[in-house]
């Protein structure tokens, strides 16, 4: 897994090349967008939908289920994201979207999604296969951005920003890995509690998922300011088994920063481990990609400390086997 994490910057660069060669139709009177996908295939949609909130004049939402919202119709662009192309829930959602005559675009490495897309002439971008879906976020995220850009739903140059992220990760490789090792030591033998500010929840979800899968640990995440209306009340008992990691960017809203200061004052009374991880880069997208890369490393270094295989997901294989019966 560490080799795959190390290759993330190159994956972004390769993803831009794949996007440049793809042919995406213009779309017809698109009034809303739904991205459907789960797990490692779905997290890109979560992050892209947050970015679209800043740059799109129409709603871009995400579905991680067998079903799709009732608003989906012929004016909806449904982007199907399934790395394997055989994700049970996504295939069901895809068929429902087809039944509603939605405009379909697909991002996959193959499987049934590719077959259906080719048979029906849907927009299709094929990405390299053969790796764990969570290790191929760079491929899927860039293609989602490309599809939205090609259909004139985004109003920013995502290519320049992805290239900036690539350059930043390459130039700061040693610094990123050194930081990641330090944070891994802080989280080892703890229950990680991941907090973020405002519209960066996708990055927090990604970090949580990577700790679940790569580090084989339970953890949870929440968002400021929402957690100030509920979870903050739960901090009432001393518990040094909890480690609070706060994901930050230089674009965090000033009122949320004030909230963060107060939150840290409260939380520090109940756990001794509270620290921040700061993004780098000139835009929210660049900083999100930087944080994803850094925290992916953290999850791998925790696995190293625990001397476990970060790649294996036998329990998910068991689940799929049982469902297959």
Catalytic residue status for 164:
no
| pLDDT of 128 | 92
Give me the catalytic one of 119, 229, 314, 325: 229
Give me the catalytic one of 28, 101, 269, 320: 320
Domains and CATH numbers, the chain: 2-159 (3.40.50.10490), 172-306 (3.40.50.10490)
Q: Is the dihedral of CA 113, 159, 165, 222 positive or negative?
A: negative
| pLDDT of 310 | 84
Binned average pLDDT, 10 residues per bin, the chain of 325 residues: 86 96 93 95 92 91 96 98 94 97 97 97 94 87 96 93 97 97 96 94 96 95 97 96 98 96 97 97 97 97 92 79 82
Catalytic residue status for 320:
yes
| pLDDT of 180 | 97
Catalytic residue status for 229:
yes
| pLDDT of 325 | 80
pTM of the model: 0.94
314 to 119, 211, 267, 270, 320: CA distances (angstroms): 33, 15, 35, 35, 10
Give me the catalytic one of 201, 213, 221, 293: 213
Find, among 189, 247, 196, the residue nearest to 218 by Cα: 189
| pLDDT of 40 | 86
């Amino acid at each position: 897994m560490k080799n795959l994490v190390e290759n993330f910057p190159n994956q972004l660069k390769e993803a831009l090349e794949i996007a440049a060669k793809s042919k995406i139709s213009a779309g017809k009177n698109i009034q809303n967008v739904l991205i459907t996908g789960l797990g490692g295939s779905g997290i890109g949609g979560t992050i892209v939908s947050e970015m679209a909130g800043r740059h799109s004049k129409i709603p871009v939402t995400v579905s991680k289920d067998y079903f799709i919202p009732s608003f989906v119709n012929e004016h909806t662009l449904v982007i199907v994201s399934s790395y394997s192309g055989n994700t049970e829930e996504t295939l069901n959602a895809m068929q429902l979207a087809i039944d509603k005559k939605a405009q379909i675009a697909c991002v996959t490495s193959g499987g049934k999604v590719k077959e259906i897309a080719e048979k029906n002439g849907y927009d299709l971008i094929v990405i390299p296969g053969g790796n764990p879906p969570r290790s191929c976020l760079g491929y899927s995220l860039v293609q989602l951005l490309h599809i939205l850009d090609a259909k004139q739903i985004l109003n920013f140059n995502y290519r320049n920003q992805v290239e900036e992220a690539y350059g930043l990760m390459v130039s700061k490789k040693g610094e990123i890995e050194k930081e990641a090792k330090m944070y891994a030591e802080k989280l080892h033998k703890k229950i990680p509690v991941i907090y973020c500010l405002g519209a960066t929840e996708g990055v927090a979800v990604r970090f949580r998922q990577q700790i679940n899968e790569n580090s084989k640990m339970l953890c949870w995440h929440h968002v400021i300011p929402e957690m100030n209306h509920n979870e903050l009340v739960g901090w009432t008992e001393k518990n040094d088994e909890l480690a609070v990691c706060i994901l930050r960017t230089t674009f965090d809203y000033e009122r949320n920063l004030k909230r963060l200061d107060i939150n840290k004052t409260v939380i520090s009374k109940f756990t001794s481990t509270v620290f921040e991880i700061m993004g780098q880069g000139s835009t929210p997208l660049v900083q999100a990609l930087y944080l994803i890369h850094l925290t992916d490393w953290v999850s791998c270094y925790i696995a190293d400390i625990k001397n476990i295989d970060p790649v294996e997901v036998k329990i998910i294989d068991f689940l799929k086997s049982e469902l297959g019966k």
